[in-house]
Amino acid sequence: MDRTNIISIAKTTLEIEISELEKLKNRIDDQFAQAVEIIHSAKGKLIVVGIGKSAHVGNKIVATLNSTGTPSQFLHASEAIHGDLGVIQKQDVVLCISNSGNSPEIANLVPYLKDYSSALIGMTGNKKSKLAEFSEIILDTHVDVEACPNKLAPTSSTTIQMALGDALAVALMELNDFKANDFAKFHPGGSLGKNLTSKVEQFLSSQKPQVSEDATIRDVIISISASSHGITVVTNGDQIVGVITDGDLRRMLMKGEDISKVFAKDIMSAHPRTIEKDARAKEAMKTLKENNIGQLVVTENGKYFGIIDLHKLLDEGIN
């Protein structure tokens, strides 16, 4: 098989699944809205039940819901009938996912799911199934064609389940007024969380190069060389008056001036860009990029506090 055929197969697969997604979109109705309202108003958590490929989908839906403000837990259907039903409390809502709605494990389980919970929502492709019979709300995930060439392997059907789970999560996010900062609370270690919540102070350099206005060029060179940033901050007491970079030093030396008569204040760049230590790290990155600079002077109430470096932010996933 050549690459042209491979590409054609991929496109056909996507065309089939896109077509099924369009059908799903047109089926969204009051049943979906009621499901969202039931989950939103529940005093307990959402229990998502599945088996086989639907179990994998269920785990993903749970992960998405938990990270977007809807407490959820996955329950495997085969484990449920062997003791794990105890995880369901009467105030919980159950979302049971099964394409056929009639697999033995699901058929045996649904009466208990209904009795033990406050509401049973069925996500199924078979509205005449055992799952549909016991469900208060039916989310129809019927597909006409699986993308599998044998029309057997769950492909279109699992895509539909996943998409409908995303639709539930997003609708619940809106009802819960779940914002970016809320999202960041559940992702403190990832780049998303860092970009939304991290402060400049968390990424400060351990080095704090500094010279006075009257410092000699020798003192300036020593200060710049002692840190890894290629910059030193010129201060007058507690106040920042300028910065000197290694580039400033090179340009001064190329002029051939008598360096014994040159002081920090003579070659510094006045009024450097600064940022407060309590500002978002993302704001620091934006300032660095917009001004095409590698370091930013950090302040505390306007006074020199430290240096933040572009490469440190990049290494930490701030963008």
Comparing CA positions, the residue from 218, 203, 257, 211 lying closest to residue 234 is 211
Query: Residue range 152-163: average pLDDT?
Result: 94
**pLDDT per residue as tens digits for the range 207-254:** 899 999 999 999 999 999 988 888 999 998 878 999 999 888 888 888
Q: Would you kindly state where each structural domain of the chain is located, as residue ranges?
A: 3-178, 197-316
Q: What pLDDT was estimated at residue 254? A: 84
Q: Is position 76 annotated in a ligand binding site?
A: yes
- Average pLDDT of the residues of the chain: 90
Q: Is the pLDDT of residue 317 over 80?
A: no
For residue 299, what are the β-bridge partners? 276, 304
Q: What pLDDT was estimated at residue 302? A: 87
Lowest mean per-residue pLDDT among 27-36, 88-97, 298-307: 298-307
Q: What is the dihedral of CA 289, 290, 296, 297, to 10 degrees?
A: -170
Q: What pLDDT was estimated at residue 319? A: 74
Q: Is the pLDDT of residue 204 over 90?
A: no
Output the six-digit token pair for 230.
């290629």
**pLDDT per residue as tens digits for the range 62-84:** 999 998 889 999 999 999 988 89
Helix H or strand E segment including 209: none
For residue 50, what are the β-bridge partners? 76
The number of C-alpha atoms within 13 Å of 164 and in the hemisphere containing its C-beta is: 39
Q: What pLDDT was estimated at residue 23? A: 97
Q: Where does 38-184 show beta strands of DSSP type E?
A: 46-50, 72-76, 93-98, 119-124, 137-140
Please tell me the pTM assigned to this model.
0.68
**pLDDT per residue as tens digits for the range 288-310:** 888 888 889 999 998 999 999 88
Is the model more confident about 205 or about 41? 41
Q: How does 219-242 read in b/e, with b if 16+ C-beta sit within 10 Å? A: ebbebbeebebbbbbbbeeeebbb
